Amino acid sequence: MGIRIPAIVTHSSPDLDAICSTWLLKTFHQDYKKAEILFVRPGKH
């Protein structure tokens, strides 16, 4: 198994709370500093 890089998943048209929570995770949570950000359409899994 290789190294797992965490992902932050948000919707494709993020509102302010999605933008802020993504920034907070990448800025202050050590495990998410290099996280990939994935955008999905609302209602899709």
For 1-45, the DSSP string reads --PPPPEEEEESS--HHHHHHHHHHHHH-GGGTTPEEEEE-TT--
Instruction: For residue 2, tell me if it sits in a domain.
Output: no
User: In whole angstroms, what is the distance from residue 28 CA to residue 8 CA?
Assistant: 14
pLDDT at 5: 84
Instruction: For residue 30, tell me if it sits in a domain.
Output: yes
pLDDT at 44: 59
pLDDT (tens digit per residue) in 1-41: 677 889 999 999 999 999 999 999 999 999 999 999 999 98
Residue 43, pLDDT above cutoff 80: no
Ramachandran category for residue 43: left, alpha or beta (phi over 0 → left; psi -120 to 50 → alpha): left
Q: How many domains does the chain have?
A: 1
3 state DSSP class of 29: coil
Instruction: For residue 15, tell me if it sits in a domain.
Output: yes
Residues in the chain: 45
pTM for the structure as a whole: 0.76
Query: Which residue range forms the structural domain that includes residue 28?
Result: 7-40
Instruction: For residue 20, tell me if it sits in a domain.
Output: yes
Instruction: For residue 32, tell me if it sits in a domain.
Output: yes
